[in-house]
Structure 1
Amino acid sequence: MDIVDTGGSTLVALLATDAWMQAREGIVALWRRFRPTQADEVTLALDETREELLAARGDGDTQGEADLARDWQRRLRRILAEDPEVAEQLERLLAEVRGSLPEAERPAPGPVFHTQVSGHGRAYLAGRDQHITER
């Protein structure tokens, strides 16, 4: 589910921008509609995520930021599994919030890899560390 990966990462990135309240309100509204009993919990979780994100960025902790994105990807995956209509609303919300930011504050899209190999060539693509041992 691409919306899960991009949604979690985008949401966490937005929490460190001037649009964080708009993103927070939109996600809480989404939960109120599809999982109303968890809306207050999600509100607290978003506030905690923002605090942790700002601390991680202040410390240069990219792994901490990635962990926060994975946490939200898991939450989104669970709510999307219950009702596919959530995906459409989530995409609309994230596009709206991203679009309201100045260009310099818009979260960067995820990595895009392109490769072309011919002959006996090899291509190794990775989103993180890669260790190759050839003998």
Structure 2
Amino acid sequence: MDSEIALLAGTAGTTIATLLATDAWSGARNGVLALWRRVRPDDEEQVAAQLDTSRRDLLDARSDGDEEAEREVALEWRGRVRRLLVAHPELAAELRALLTELAPDAPATVTVTQRATASGSSRVYQAGRDLTIDRP
């Protein structure tokens, strides 16, 4: 569940940061606030202020030519969303629906999880898709 939450939070952070400077911002803001309102109604004003500050910061940074700002904003919101989902995992389905609504043309995310243990002189080869190994 932790990796699923991290992936979902990462997608949410990126989506929020991307929509900050678009015409879709109002709908995104309302959707994010609705999530927080469901489980932390007392934090709604603070989250609204954080969203508005993030938007202003990103717009200012873009006008100054700061290309890293969107990535930083995405990381900030990824952390906020991850902490919300850790405390309230029941919000995951609602967040997925919100992300689908906000970015309907976004490709579906494919997750590959691989684990391997090698010991001695053994080797581990892993790939998310095709793998060719030429060994004598």
Is 1:65 matched up with 2:70? yes
Aligned to 2:39: 34
1:118 matched residue in structure 2 = 133
Distance 1:109 1:46, change over 3 A: farther
User: How many residue pairs end up in the alignment?
Assistant: 113
Q: Which residue of 80, 92, 97 maps to 1:87?
A: 92
Equivalent position amino acid for 1:7 in 2? A
Q: 1:84 offset after TM fit, Å?
A: 1.1
SS at match of 1:62: coil
Shift of 1:75: 0.4
Inter-partner Cα distance in structure 2 for 1:116 and 1:14: 37
Work out the CA distance in 1 between the residues paired with 2:21 and 2:107: 13
**Residues 37 and 52 (structure 1 numbering): CA distance in 2 closer, same or farther, change over 3 Å?**
same
Q: Give the aligned residue type for 1:73.
A: R
The 3 A distance-change label for structure 1 pair 9 and 108 is farther
Cα 1:65/1:98, change in 2 over 3 Å: same
Partner of 1:46: 51
CA distance 1:114–1:19, change in 2 (3 Å): farther
Which has the greater radius of gyration?
A: 2
Superposed displacement of residue 114, structure 1 = 7.1
The alpha carbon displacement at 1:65 in A equals: 1.4
Alpha carbons 1:11, 1:94 under 8 Å: kept:
no
- CA 1:71–1:78 in structure 2 vs 1: closer, same or farther (change >3 Å)? same
2:30 corresponds to which of 8, 25, 30: 25
Instruction: Note the residue ranges of structure 1 that are not aligned, 5 or more in a row.
Output: 100-105, 121-135
Q: C-alpha distance in 1, partners of 2:132/2:43? A: 49
C-alpha distance in 2 between matches for 1:73 and 1:27: 12
Q: Is the partner of 1:119 in helix, strand or coil?
A: coil
Mapped contact 1:8–1:72 kept (Cα < 8 A)? yes
Structure 1 length normalisation: TM-score? 0.72
